[in-house]
Amino acid sequence: MKRYLMIWMGLTLGTMGTALGQESAPEGEVESEPDGESSEEEDTSTEEGALPVDDQQEAQTMPDLSRAQHRWLEPSRTKLDPVPRGQTDYTAYTLEWGETKIGLASITIGALPRTQIGTVPMLDALGVMNGHIKVNILRAGPVDLGVGSNLYRLQVGDFVGSHTGGSLISSVQLLEPWSFHLGAHYAALQSSGVPDTTRLPSVLTAGTDPDTFQASQDGNEMAWNFHGQNIRLNLATDYRFNRRDSIVFQAGAIVWSNIDKGFDAPPILGLDDAFARAEENTSPISESLVTSLAWQWTWRKIDLRVGLGWSSVPGAWLLQSTDLSYRFGGKTRSSERRMNRTWKRNKDDTK
């Protein structure tokens, strides 16, 4: 009986040990998972946010652009948005920092942010030292305010003549493609001393014989001491169709002038006739009015303005309605250059 009892107890204790061993593995060991379960989870798991394998393969297969589609995507200036502050000659705006404009009348450089300086090379060649500067001092939303100054000085022997000017211009963007500009320009002219015409280019003396001129000025030295002032108002408005095309209307006139009485203007550049008309006329506006309507093309590096107009002085409207210049540099044109380079590189991807 004892023998059977001992066998039964042994069997019972062995069964309990096996069960306890299955429920808790020894410390430091990791329970093994049934074969097949781990591999199935690895095959079906993906990184968070990643597409399934089939979708990834479809996403990598993109249709090629046709040449016609590639041409349509060209970033030409007729497709780009206009640049409201692109025009600088009749506005409060200035060239961008690093931008240069070489025109028929002047060379201008964006020397600092919202600051431009320039000179007129033709006058420099004639011996007239000159320079001009404009600063965009205020930019508040669609409203800009610019101030400018210029100086022209000619010295020939005892003669010294100068023109000093200052301007205040306001520009307002009425709508996204439409702006209005109003400016006031003050000018002071003065001179002293009789010029030595032998040292002046013939274009300034209108072919006057130097000896005859010098003889005519004996005892007339005081006539060369003069001072004149005037204020001119200019208004302009431009409508931009795109970055290349716009239409410009301009009008300007002298609204006030003051010239020393009794002054005999010298026969240089037609000053004698111009000053005589100014003294005789009581309404400087009617004698100095200039209006024009022009079309402006602004290509990547060339600006061209051509139009028609009317002026009291014959031909004066041509100076207002005509402009040709070469422009390069600046943030806007650099951005366009990068866009065009990218577009040209993508040409090889078309079919």
Q: What is the pLDDT of residues 252-272, one digit of tens each?
A: 999 998 877 555 555 554 555
The overall average pLDDT reported for the chain is 80
Using a 10 angstrom Cβ sphere, with 0-12 exposed, 13-18 middle and 19 or more buried, the burial of residue 262 is: exposed
Question: CA 122: distance to chain centroid?
Answer: 25
pLDDT confidence bin for 197, thresholds 50/70/90: confident
Mean pLDDT of 158-186: 95
Task: Give the list of residues 6+ apart from residue 313 with CB closer than 8 angstroms, or none.
Answer: 287, 288, 290
- Per-residue confidence (pLDDT) for residue 287, from 0 to 100: 85
How far is the C-alpha of 351 from the C-alpha of 349, rounded, in Å? 7
**Long-range CB contacts (< 8 A, 24+ apart) of 159-162?**
159/191, 159/192, 159/193, 159/194, 159/195, 159/196, 159/224, 160/191, 160/192, 160/193, 161/189, 161/190, 161/191, 162/189, 162/190, 162/191
Spatial contact of 148 and 114, defined as CB atoms under 8 Å apart: no
Using alpha carbons, select from 82, 252, 297 the residue that is nearest to residue 175.
Answer: 82
- Per-residue confidence (pLDDT) for residue 182, from 0 to 100: 98
How far is the C-alpha of 256 from the C-alpha of 288, rounded, in Å? 11
In Å, what is the CA distance from 136 to each residue of 95, 140, 249? 10, 11, 22
- Per-residue confidence (pLDDT) for residue 225, from 0 to 100: 82
- Per-residue confidence (pLDDT) for residue 8, from 0 to 100: 45
pLDDT confidence bin for 2, thresholds 50/70/90: very low
pLDDT at 12 over 70: no
Question: Percentage of residues in the chain with pLDDT exceeding 70?
Answer: 69
Domains, the chain, ordered by start: 100-109+117-313 (2.40.160)
Tokens representing 113 are: 């942010």
Q: What is the DSSP letter of 197?
A: G
pLDDT at 192 over 90: no
Q: Higher confidence at residue 190 or residue 5? A: 190
Mean pLDDT is highest, among 4-8, 292-296, 315-319, for: 292-296
Mean pLDDT of 320-330: 95
Tokens representing 229 are: 């002032």
How far is the C-alpha of 322 from the C-alpha of 304, rounded, in Å? 8
How far is the C-alpha of 32 from the C-alpha of 280, rounded, in Å? 115
pLDDT confidence bin for 206, thresholds 50/70/90: low
Mean pLDDT of 139-158: 94
How far is the C-alpha of 86 from the C-alpha of 323, rounded, in Å? 14
pLDDT at 145 over 80: yes
Which residue's entry shows tokens 């002026």? Answer: 311
Mean pLDDT of 310-333: 93
pLDDT at 126 over 90: no
Q: Which residues pair with 350 in a beta bridge?
A: none
pLDDT at 63 over 50: yes
pLDDT at 203 over 70: no
How far is the C-alpha of 159 from the C-alpha of 224, rounded, in Å? 8
Per-residue burial over 214-235, b if 16 or more Cβ lie within 10 Å, else e, is: eeeeeeeeeebebebebebebe
How far is the C-alpha of 154 from the C-alpha of 331, rounded, in Å? 37
Write the DSSP string, 100-169. EEEESS-EEEEEETTEEEEE-HHHHHTT-EEEEEEEEEEEETTEEEEEEEEEEEEEEBTEEEEEEEEEEE
- Per-residue confidence (pLDDT) for residue 211, from 0 to 100: 72
- Per-residue confidence (pLDDT) for residue 70, from 0 to 100: 73
pLDDT at 125 over 80: yes
How far is the C-alpha of 246 from the C-alpha of 296, rounded, in Å? 5
How far is the C-alpha of 144 from the C-alpha of 136, rounded, in Å? 7
- Per-residue confidence (pLDDT) for residue 279, from 0 to 100: 56
